[in-house]
Amino acid sequence: MAPSTASLEDFHSYILVTGANGGLGYSICCRLMDEFLRTRPSSHSLRLIITTRDKTKSHDTIAKLKDHIFRARRQHKIHEQSPLVAKIYLQAEQVDLCNLRSVQNLAKKLLHALPKLDAIILNAGLGGFAGVDWALAIWTILTNIPKSVTYPTFKLQHVGLVTGPQETIFSASAGGRQPELGTLFCSNVFGHYMLVHGIAPLLSNSTATPGRVVWLGSLEAYSSVFSTSDIQALKSSSAYESSKRLTDVLVLSSSLVSTQPFVRKFLPPPRDHRPPKQYVTQPGICATNMVPLHWILFYLMTAVFYFARWVGSPWHTVTPYKGACAPVWVALASQEELDGLEENEGAGKWGSGTNFQGDERVTRTEVQGWGLGGTVGDNVGLPKRKRPREAEDLTEEGREQFELLGRECWELMERLREEWEGLLGDDD
């Protein structure tokens, strides 16, 4: 008897990675392919869909990824005619997350081109960094290296960055002034938010396991820099950190009863199987070009990161490939493993970390107001070197405030999504 279409489709995985042309995004793609080949039987295949902002970057990234596959084959002595060679298929798409029309167009294209999505890794984003306060950097590094390069206070950011005008169905003269969209808010959170909503049917078509939405967070997701009164951080000098705090709050509150009226509008649940699941991860501290530095300073920064690891920091992954450990693990782990961990320890923020020797591992990351898994007392007694800058032991009051904050954030995000969908209309 021939297997059903559904069972055949379970052998084919479809994973999308945004911002794949360099740094962490490219390393996520490489690690995804490596781990897939290492852990999946030869009867399985992976279609890896990458997004970049233009066709040139897409072409260059696909070429580099094909070269990575070739080197992996040689390393593991896989013959070119081996069935393993045909297991990975690459597909490139373009999107500008600060252009909501571009996001809308990609979502529509994917809905027609793909049968499902097993996971989407939301990596793309901007830092908005203007430079470094060198006096403060030198002082903090000399006085406390691990803390200063894990939770830096010396990065300078632009304030009030907004996207260009969006392509709406209303002209400025007819509809009045267009609402502003913060650049970092849009690139790091809202553009992805609109994309995920647009492709929700594909994530719901993953029947063997729930489709997974894997957000990239940060260790620098400080609660003190985030306010719902300025959810886009247009007035903040810490817009990057604000966007990452918002990411934590949205994802970790997404399974709470109080947020379901909004979460169900964002990701409508399918009728006959489990709805998509959202996860938040963080890559530790990687040496990337997010902060613009001269190449000499870049290598000095990398050396300091290694030193921080050697003196006890658990978060200095240093290389983007090691930083990709947590998001790739969440994308490929068995659903039974993920569900078991959340059932026993609660939903958490999964982080890439290393030991003294640089052996990578996935570990829970403390979040202010949530702790490790949303349970009062679960972060008591943690080693100081693993705790964030604003760490406090989780209390019942703090947990309740986090839940209220989560509901408020979901309500604001859904209101904003509906407003912009109305402004964009349907360009078909």
Tens-place pLDDT, residues 378-420? 776 677 767 777 778 888 999 999 999 999 999 999 999 999 9
Q: How confident is residue 91, by pLDDT bands cut at 50, 70 and 90?
A: very high
Q: How confident is residue 252, by pLDDT bands cut at 50, 70 and 90?
A: very high
Q: What is the pLDDT of residue 82?
A: 58
Q: What is the pLDDT of residue 427?
A: 61
Q: How confident is residue 174, by pLDDT bands cut at 50, 70 and 90?
A: very low
Q: 224 or 292: which carries more pLDDT confidence?
A: 224
SS3 readout for 327-342: HHHHHHCCHHHHHHHH
Q: What is the pLDDT of residue 168?
A: 79
The percent of residues in the chain predicted with pLDDT above 70, rounded, is 91
What pLDDT, in 10s, does the model give residues 141-164? 999 888 899 999 999 999 999 999
| Average pLDDT rounded to a whole number, residues 294-300 | 89
Q: What is the pLDDT of residue 289?
A: 80
| Average pLDDT rounded to a whole number, residues 267-283 | 90
What pLDDT, in 10s, does the model give residues 110-126? 999 999 999 999 999 99
Q: 179 or 74: which carries more pLDDT confidence?
A: 179
Q: How confident is residue 360, by pLDDT bands cut at 50, 70 and 90?
A: very high
